[in-house]
Amino acid sequence: MNKTDIHSHILFNVDDGSKSIKESICLLQKLKNIGFTDVILTPHYINGSSYNVSNDKKREHFNILKEELKKNKLDINIYLGNEIFINNNINNLIKEDVISTLNNSKYVLVELPFHNPILNLDDIIYELKYNNLIPIIAHPERYTYFQKNYKEVDKLREEGVLFQGNYLSIIGGYGSLSKKLFKYMLKNKYIDFLGTDIHSLNNLSVIDNYDKIIKKIKKVCGEEYYQVIINNCNNVLKNI
């Protein structure tokens, strides 16, 4: 069965993720070893920061990595995307081919500030949807203002916002408050997608604890809903 990771920082030398082709290959091998068949590479894009590599540069690194996969006979599929830090110009940046949706689909992976809520989040989400894009909020369980007020998550869900949780959250990889919110979201079927958010060989917790993580996720949301999440991740590649 196919299994897609929709959030990773494996593309080398573009953000705080992989620092070399060799590291990227090693990370992809490790993801393959735990059952992933498809991986979307989603480097950070943060306006006004050093994490603002354009699509041209990303494609250059992507093609090099793809060739290296062939040389190493590593049978895993890779695709391009971005983890886009929220801003008012996402639509234009996509139209101008500066940043990427997930595998050129209608799905856009959006990161929010960790500690300060965005006052015009509703407007940005509305504009993305108006332009036939579907925003996915990356790791909502990690944002402190959601941890303090679950009603904010409920409200976004009622508005039809989709959420991608990080696998590590279920074992407290980002702290107890993140774990608690993640479990709440799983129980309420708010988590639509899962991602490793893997960055480097320096932190392989998601790899080392993968079986334990899946067991715990299934215990909270059930086998049936877990399969729904996996199918959702696969469907991003098909633009469904």
32-62 per-position pLDDT tens digit = 999 999 999 999 999 889 999 999 999 999 9
Give a three-class secondary structure readout of 74-121.
CCCEEEECCEEECCCCHHHHHHCCCCCCHHHCCEEEEECCCCCCCCCH
Per-residue tokens: 180: 């608690």
Residue range 207-233: mean pLDDT, rounded = 98
Tell me how many domains the chain contains. Answer: 1
Q: Which residue in 8, 54, 50, 236 sits closest to 135, CA to CA?
A: 236
pLDDT on residue 1: 83
Q: Please, what is the angle between helix 176-187 and helix 210-221, to 10°?
A: 50
pLDDT on residue 110: 98
Gap between the Cα atoms of 26 and 92, Å rounded: 35
Length of the chain measured in residues: 240
Quote the domain boundaries for residue 53: 4-238
106-144 per-position pLDDT tens digit = 999 999 999 999 999 999 999 999 999 999 999 999 999
Gap between the Cα atoms of 9 and 37, Å rounded: 16
CATH code, domain carrying 228 = 3.20.20.140
pLDDT on residue 48: 87
Strands 107-111 and 83-85: parallel
Q: Do 131 and 90 form a contact (C-beta atoms < 8 A)?
A: no
